[in-house]
Amino acid sequence: MENAEIIIKLTPDEALVLSDWLERVQMTDLSRLVDDEAVWAPIQRLAGTLDKSLPGIFAADYGERLDAARRRLRPASDDVVNDHAASD
């Protein structure tokens, strides 16, 4: 198992939203968020893989695509209310 790769599957919406977040995180002072330099390598690898897999990140309507993906991934407001009521 030492040489086995880990495969993570994401929907296109998940990949787009995660790619955008990783880009924003990498543009900030990562040392405030990431306290272990060993974490940087997998973060950069994941971000690079997403960038290569998402040609839409260079599309003129990228912002609209990202907003639509975020909307689809957010739980419906009824679901959030029901989740809170169930945990009380």
Q: Which domain holds residue 17?
A: 12-73
- Overall pTM surpassing 0.85 (yes/no): no
Question: Domain tally for the chain?
Answer: 1
Whole-number pLDDT of residue 60: 95
Taking the chain, what is the end-to-end CA distance rounded to the nearest angstrom?
A: 42
Say if 26 falls within a structural domain: yes
The answer to the question of residue 18 being in a domain is yes
Domain presence at residue 21: yes
Mean pLDDT by runs of 10 across the 88 residues of the chain is: 84 96 83 81 91 91 96 81 54
Q: Residue 42 and residue 49: Cα distance in Å, rounded? A: 10
* Residue at 3 is within a domain: no
Query: What does the pLDDT read at residue 82?
Result: 55
Report the C-alpha gap between 57 and 74 in whole angstroms.
20
How confident is the model at residue 15, as a pLDDT?
96
In a domain, residue 2? The reply is no
